[in-house]
Structure formats: structure tokens, C-alpha cells
Structure 1
Amino acid sequence: MIKIIGIGKLKEKHLKALCDDYQKRIQPYHKIEVIEVNDESISNNASPKEEEQIKEKEALEVLKRIKDNDYVILLDLHGKTMTSEELAQKISSIQTYHTSNITFVIGGSLGLGESLLKRSDFRLKLSDLTFLHQMTRLILLEQIYRSFKILGNETYHK
């Protein structure tokens, strides 16, 4: 099972439709589930301590949805960048040598809480660019789909 846990709801209909399309495309290759966790409200003048508390509260909600045998990949601005081919090999390697349960986590607008950083097995940086939270989910789903196409030596990737 591949899970994508995202903090925050996907509200835009057109993005939701695209994400749903990629989920359907992935289904023949692997079971996939997208889980949305509510993001916490943040006041405009929140202190750094309040922001850390919010990140940790969101992290604890995410951790409730992660199993002990899940391989956890955090999408993180401080993570490792990979090509599409490298991500495909990473997914294949995890499923061969670790577990078939891979959980990708997309943090909230403030980032990732410390307890979630400690639980992660790998930190992935999608790009040096900054994307909307909702766009990140779409890009991740497309890259997971692309990974299965690469692993199957199918033409989508070219």
C-alpha cells in the first residue's frame, strides 16, 4: 500500500480532478490511498513557540495514521533531490528490501513537526522551487505514476 498523508484539504475542484485521475492511473500497479489531515489554524501574529506547537499537533495527527512497518518518506525542503528514475528505483528498493507499505507525508504551511522528522525513513525534496501545498500532492501523484511506468519499461516516461 502506498499512502499519501497531506496536512490540509484539497479544495480546488480542478486539482482534485487531476489528483483523482492519477490515483486511478496508479491503481493497476499498486494500491494507493490519500489521507487528508486537518491543518491547524494559525494567527497572523503567532510566536515561534506557537508555530512549533501547531507543527507538533499536526505531526501527531499524521503519526496516528502511520503503521509501525510503514516506510515513511517526508516531502521536505531539506531533503534529497532525485530524478524520476532515482525515485522509481527508491520505490522498487523499498518494496524489495523493506516493506510494501510506503507512506509519503506532505507537511502543512509551517512545515513538519519534530516527532514526524524523527519517525521518517527518508526525506525527499521535490524541487528547489516552492509549490502550493495542493500542487505538491498532484506533482507527487504524477511522479509515483511515472515511477511505476519507468519500472515497467513503459512509454509514458519518454
Structure 2
Amino acid sequence: MLTLKILMKDTSSPAYYRQAVEEYTKRLGRYCNLSLETVKESDLEAALASPGYMIRVSQKGRQMDSVAFAQQLDSLATQGVSKITFILNMKYPDAQDSLSLTTISLEDPLHLVALLEQIYRSFRITNGEPYHK
């Protein structure tokens, strides 16, 4: 099973964002192990002990559609990558890849929800399940 770790600056957010994160965490439980961790940007290096494959998620990352993102995650799993770390809105030059969910600036709680939705969508696509929900 694939293990996903999401590192972000702050997890405090309004209740509606927390509810969305809880819902996507529950949905993703059937496809992967997921952990969310809060980390200061200055402590990012220490938090990345055995990070696996790293994807930096930011406004300036690489844009791809849902199918391409699903293919990338599936390809990594097929290559034997069992752990993927997403670094949300923090500078980290050593990440193997980058991803942009949107060209507009989002606050971290909304960016987290958007990332979880895209990860969930990618698992649905990979498993041949409908994903427009």
C-alpha cells in the first residue's frame, strides 16, 4: 500500500476545511496510508528523514490534468515507490518533482483540501471508478 505524507506550515483552519480534510482522509483510507504533519519551514529538513519521493506543491509547480496526475502516481507505485511526500507551499529545492493545483494563490487550508481532492480523484481514475462526485 502506498504511504502519502503531506507536510505543511499550519493545520489550524476553520471547521469547514477540517471537515473536508476529514472526509477526504476517510475516503483515501481505502487506497493508501495518509499522514498530515505540521512543520515550520526552518525545520523542513529534519522532517524529511526518509521522505521517499518528494513532490513540492505550489503555485509555480508543474501543471497537469487529473488523468496525468493519476498516471504519475500509478507509475511511481509501479516503479516500487511506496512513500510519497508532498511539501505544501514551502520552498524545498531537493524535491524530485513539483505540482501546481492552480495558478492562483490559495491559503494553506484550501490548498490542502484541493490537494487531497486531487489525490482522491487520481486513485479513483487509476481504479477505473467514477470520479466526478
Q: Do they superpose with TM above 0.5? A: yes
Question: Alignment partner for residue 65 of structure 1, among 43, 47, 50?
Answer: 47
Whether contact under 8 Å (1:71, 1:98) holds in the other structure is no
**Alpha-carbon RMSD:** 1.6
**1: CA distance between counterparts of 2:131 and 2:57?**
24
Deviations 1:95-138 (A, max 9, x none): 1115110000112xxx52xxx21x20001111112211110000
Structure 2 gap segments, 5+ residues each: none
Aligned length, in residue pairs = 131
Hey, what does 2:97 align to over in structure 1?
122
Q: Taking every aligned residue pair, what percent have the same amino acid on both sides?
A: 28
Q: Does 1:76 align with 2:51?
A: no
TM-score (norm 1): 0.77
User: What code does the residue aligned with 1:123 have?
Assistant: S
User: What code does the residue aligned with 1:127 have?
Assistant: T
Runs of 4+ with >4 A deviation: none
Task: State how 1:135-150 maps to structure 2 within 5 Å.
Answer: 135-150=110-125
Hey, what does 1:37 align to over in structure 2?
39
Whether contact under 8 Å (1:69, 1:99) holds in the other structure is no
The change in CA–CA distance for 1:3 and 1:64 in structure 2 (over 3 A counts) is same
Hey, what does 1:43 align to over in structure 2?
none
Max radius of gyration: which structure? 1
**1: CA distance between counterparts of 2:80 and 2:55?**
13
| Structure that is richer in helix per residue | 1
Q: Secondary structure at the match of 2:20?
A: helix
Question: Alignment partner for residue 68 of structure 2, among 86, 97, 107?
Answer: 86
**1: CA distance between counterparts of 2:59 and 2:122?**
21
Whether contact under 8 Å (2:39, 2:47) holds in the other structure is no
Structure 1 gap segments, 5+ residues each: 39-57
